[in-house]
Structure 1
């Protein structure tokens, strides 16, 4: 199992960041390099506890689908999405939010396993972990911009 841990500091209240992180439209905006689109389940707006979304995007030259469900949620503190259907053996993404002095510390903990035994492990080491890390970094960059812009509008 591989785990990716990222921390992003955002100058906005955690309510704004939390909602941005579970907003399907913002996610699609942040994944433009892979042309990821929500094609089933919740396809726009905010996703909530026990709801699903199926994504279709181009990764490594192939269009892939990935269905996930929000399995755990405590408003404004954390939520977890877990794969129901897709190419991974397992996939669990924890999103955690903590606010200190007007800054939200957003943490991503992505745990996944690849199929295909040693070949999957090798693919992970050579390509996949870096790809997923960059995917999350780009997503978090957009979340930061959108959240800070939204906070600025509300502050005016």
Structure 2
């Protein structure tokens, strides 16, 4: 299993960043390069505790589907999305939002994931998947920051 953390500073209040981070339309736009689209569950707007969404996207030249659920939700401080079904043995993404003391937000993502297929999956995690997932989260966070700062 891999775990990584990323921190993004955003010049917008935590509640704004929290809400945008739960918006499936914003998420889809941030993942346009992989052709990500919604194929089930919440199809528009902001997700809430217990909501699920099924995403379909192309990564590594393969089309994948993943259903995730919002399993924890404490606005405006934190929420968790976890894989219900999909390509990972485990996917657990905790989103933290804290005031930065200047009217902005420190957004911290903690992602834990494990690839399937035992030792082969562990090797793929080490060689490519860890870096790839970190880059995806970073790209998504750039999009969240741009949208939050434009609306602040």
Same fold by TM-score, threshold 0.5 exceeded?
A: yes
1:26-105 paired onto structure 2 within 5 Å: 26-100=26-100, 101-105=102-106
| 1:80 Cα deviation after fit | 0.2
Match of 2:20 in 1: 20
Residue 115 of structure 1 corresponds to 116
1:132 and 2:133 are equivalent in the alignment: yes
Measured against aligned partners, the alpha-carbon deviations of 1:68-101 in whole angstroms (never above 9, x if no partner) come to 0000000110000110000111110000000122
- Separation in 2, partners of 1:103, 1:75: 16
Gaps of 5+ in 1: 152-156
After superposition, what is the alpha-carbon deviation per residue over 1:90-136, rounded to whole angstroms, capped at 9, x for unaligned?
11000000012212000000001111111101111111011101100
TM-score w.r.t. structure 1 length? 0.95
TM-score by length of structure 2 reads 0.98
C-alpha distance in 2, partners of 1:146/1:63? Answer: 28
- Please, what is the CA RMSD of the aligned residues? 0.6
Once the 2 structures are TM-superposed, how far is the Cα of residue 33 of structure 1 from its aligned partner?
A: 1.1
Match of 2:44, SS state, is: coil
Unaligned runs of 5+ in 2: none
Indicate the SS of the match to 2:49. Answer: coil
The SS at the match of 1:124 is helix
Aligned length: 151
Moved over 2 A (4+): none
Query: C-alpha separation between the residues in 1 aligned to 2:86 and 2:14?
Result: 30
